[in-house]
Each structure stands twice: as structure tokens, then as C-alpha cells.
Structure 1
Amino acid sequence: MRLGRLVAERRRLAAYWGAAVVQVAAVALDAKLLKRASKVTLMPLLLSWLRTQGAPPLIQAALLASAAGDLLLETEFQTAGIAAFAAAQACYLAVFLDKPGERSWRVPAAYGALWAALIALLGRDLGAQRVPVAAYALLLTATAIAAKWHNPRSGLGGALFLVSDALIAMRLAGRDFPGRGVLVMSTYATGQYLLVSGVRKRARQPEVREQAGVEASER
């Protein structure tokens, strides 16, 4: 039974990475239909795997909100899509701040400087979008900080998510470059996985210790 469950879990995770590879390839080839179809499957597939891992409900809610954001950004309701991603970040932030690890002042100092530099660099070219982008970037930065305090794995995921959205902000500011779309989706897919799998590992540790205690007592 355990082997069958493990195989099923790995198949779900493989499906996610398969969809991520298809998405990145579709972006690189500018295959519009395939690009849209593969993008909206990413978060549901990751959620399908995550639900087998005993992740907190708020982390699952973050992926649901991200899935809604991916879908809405492909329509005319892009503002609603941004709001959905902001809700996802709020869910991540709540989880990471609930049980943080070692808090170092260097982390917020470094990320704060990065946020200020990004807004200073792109702000003039963002026009009316400057304030919304700055506010959303601040939320992303807070999530990246809290994720880093939580554990290194989630911290790397938060950093990659921030990079992904910073690349989108560069396009909004008219500073596009070849390969940017591929980098956006690569860092997004990897960042989301690292964010949630870091929490999943932490959440399952007590279960592992408890199981070890049971097995020891049976001996």
C-alpha cells in the first residue's frame, strides 16, 4: 500500500513538472494555444500532489488563488488576476510567520534594499501602475523574507517567485528582452514548488518522529 501511494504521489509530481516543461517550451516557441492550456494546469497539478503531503490548508488555498490568478491573467480581468496572486501571497505570509525559524535582520535589510532598487529603477516607466506594482512587490518581498526565516527551501522559492514577478514588472516598464518569458515561467514554476514543498517537509516531520516512536515501542 505504501509503495502504491508513493508511486501515485510521484506520478502527480511528475505530471506537474511535465506541464511546466511544456509551458516553458510553449513560451519559447510562442505557441499561444499550448501556452495558455499548459499554464492553467500548473497550479491544479501541483495542488493535486500537495494534497497527498499533509500541507496546511492555507498553503492549499495559496495554490488555489494562484490557479485563479493564472486563469484570470489570460482574460480581460487582469486586475482580478493580480488580486488573486496578492491573496496567494497573503496565505503564504500567514503560514510562514506562524512558525518562523531563526530571524536575522540581514534578510529584511537585503530584501528591502532590493525592493527599493527595483522601484527606483522601474518606477518612472511604470506610469499609473507604479503604486500598485510597488505595493504588490512589497507583499512579495515580505513573503520572501518570511519564507527565508521559515526554512532555506521555502526561502529559495520565495526568492524565485520575486524574481519571476520582477521580470514581469520589467515588461510593464517597457524593458523587455529575449528569453524573458521563459525565465518568468521557469522561476515561477520552480518557486511555487519550493515554497510549498518546504512547508510540506516541515509539516510532515512531527508525523515522521511519531511514526519512529511507535516503531521503537513495538520493538
Structure 2
Amino acid sequence: MNERHGRVLLGAFALAAVVDLVSLAAGFDAGHTVAKPLLMPLLAAHVVVRGGPRLLVAALLCGWGGDVLLLSDADAAFLMGMTSFAAGHVCYLLLFRNSGPLRENGAPRARGAWLAGGYAVALVVTVTLLWPDLPADLRVPVAGYSLLLTAMAYGATRLGFVAGLGGALFMLSDALIATGVADRPQLPRPDLWIMLTYAAAQFLLVRGVLGSLGARSAPAAAHGAMRSTTP
């Protein structure tokens, strides 16, 4: 029954995402205003029904707070929204630390070093390029947030490709937001690309976390079955 309800909630999340993206593509602001705040609560409810970790639910609800706050164009709302997203990244980091790598021996050290270096370069390049054009009062908060976001994205790679891709897309989504704040050139319909990468990022992070938990529980269940059949 929980699996069935989980599929229904995931379907509702997908429908809300489609409505939001179509509304953004069509310039229908009312549709975006209604659909955007539904995304993370539906995804969080899916996690609850599936028995997912509380930290994952908390991360998604922090994302919901940021989503609602960023519907406003006020500077104070932007800072509060960034703070809410930052709290979500802290939840993700705690979750990744507690989960550990998918394989017992983890990723090879060389691969981990390359990934860490790549994310560090991406952070430095992004902040360096945007820094001169950011409003003076946002430079330090954006730099601090970017550091936290990069740490989350790198931490997601501990759980495998799916979660790692989700973390990378989250970085891309927020980089698109930052280019807008810095008045840098953007793609047509920038909000569409921001929401597309953001919704995909949160979905992939959820799939990656739930998938890693399933991968760990299967060997434990098999070990328990073997013990129960051992004379």
C-alpha cells in the first residue's frame, strides 16, 4: 500500500512540475505561482510514505521554504530564501555523512580526489566570475552559500551516480539564478531552465538517497535470511 501511495504522490509531483514548466514557457505567471509551492511538499510526502529518512524530508521542506520566498522579488525575501536553501543543504550534508558510501570500500581515492578538485575549481571559477557584478551586500552571502552548495553536491557523489547528478544539477540551477542576480547574459526564459534543473535535481537526490538505502537493506535482509536457515 505504501508503495502504491508513493507512486501516486510521485505522479502528482511530476504533474505539478509539468504544469510549472509549461506555465513558465508560456509566460503564465499564475500557473507558476500555484504549481511551484506544490513541488517539494509532494516530493517530501513521497519520501515519508516510502519510509525515507527525516533529514531528507527536512531538506525538501527547506527547499519548499526557499521556493515560496523566491516567488517574491524583494531583496529580503531573496536572502531569506537563500538561507532556507542553505539549511536544506546542511540537512543533505548530514544525511550523506550518516549514509556513507554505497560500497563498503567507497569510491577509489584517486576518483574522489579528482571529483573534489573539479568541484573546487567550479566553485572558485563561478564566484570569481560573478563577484564583480554581484550587489555589494550579496557578495559574501552568495560566496558562503556557494561553498555550502558545492560541499552538498560533492557529498551527494558518495551515494552514487544518480544522487551525484542531482547535486550537480542543483549547482547548475543556482548558478543560473546567480547569473541573473549579477545581470549576466542568460538563456531565453531563464526561469524555465532554473526550475527544470532544480526540480530534476531534487528528484534525483531523492531517488539516489532512497536507492542507496534499498541497496544497503537488501544485503542485510539476505544475511538475515541466511542466518535464519543456518542450523
TM-score normalised per structure 2: 0.86
What displacement does 1:206 show?
Answer: 3.9
Match of 2:143 among 119, 124, 134: 134
What displacement does 1:149 show?
Answer: 2.4
After the TM superposition, which residues 172-211 of structure 1 pair with which residues of structure 2 at under 5 Å, given as runs? 172-175=181-184, 176-211=186-221
Number of aligned residue pairs: give it.
Answer: 216
Q: Partner letter of residue 145 of structure 1?
A: Y
| Percent of aligned pairs sharing the same letter | 39
User: Which one is further off, 127-136 or 202-211?
Assistant: 202-211
Unaligned 5+ residue runs, structure 1? none
Alpha carbons of structure 1 residues 80 and 49: separation in structure 2 relative to 1, 3 Å: same
Unaligned 5+ residue runs, structure 2? none
After the TM superposition, which residues 1-219 of structure 1 pair with which residues of structure 2 at under 5 Å, given as runs? 4-75=1-72, 76=74, 77-98=77-98, 99-100=100-101, 101-102=106-107, 104-128=112-136, 129-175=138-184, 176-212=186-222, 217=228
Q: Partner letter of residue 132 of structure 1?
A: P
Query: Whole-Å Cα distance in 2 between the matches of residues 118 and 32 of structure 1?
Result: 30
Query: Whole-Å Cα distance in 2 between the matches of residues 37 and 47 of structure 1?
Result: 17
Query: Whole-Å Cα distance in 1 between the matches of residues 203 and 129 of structure 2?
Result: 29
User: Which one is further off, 76-85 or 97-106?
Assistant: 97-106
Query: Whole-Å Cα distance in 1 between the matches of residues 96 and 3 of structure 2?
Result: 27
Tell me if structure 2 keeps the 8 A contact 1:54–1:204: no
Name the SS for the 1:174 alignment partner: coil
**RMSD of the TM alignment (CA)?**
1.9
Which structure has more RCO (C-alpha within 8 Å, separation ≥ 6)? 1
What displacement does 1:41 show?
Answer: 0.3
Query: Whole-Å Cα distance in 2 between the matches of residues 208 and 168 of structure 1?
Result: 40
What displacement does 1:78 show?
Answer: 2.6
Query: Whole-Å Cα distance in 2 between the matches of residues 26 and 85 of structure 1?
Result: 23
TM-score normalised per structure 1: 0.91
Name the SS for the 1:51 alignment partner: helix
Query: Whole-Å Cα distance in 2 between the matches of residues 210 and 97 of structure 1?
Result: 20
Tell me if structure 1 keeps the 8 A contact 2:159–2:212: no
Query: Whole-Å Cα distance in 1 between the matches of residues 121 and 219 of structure 2?
Result: 40
What displacement does 1:135 show?
Answer: 1.1
Query: Whole-Å Cα distance in 1 between the matches of residues 222 and 119 of structure 2?
Result: 39
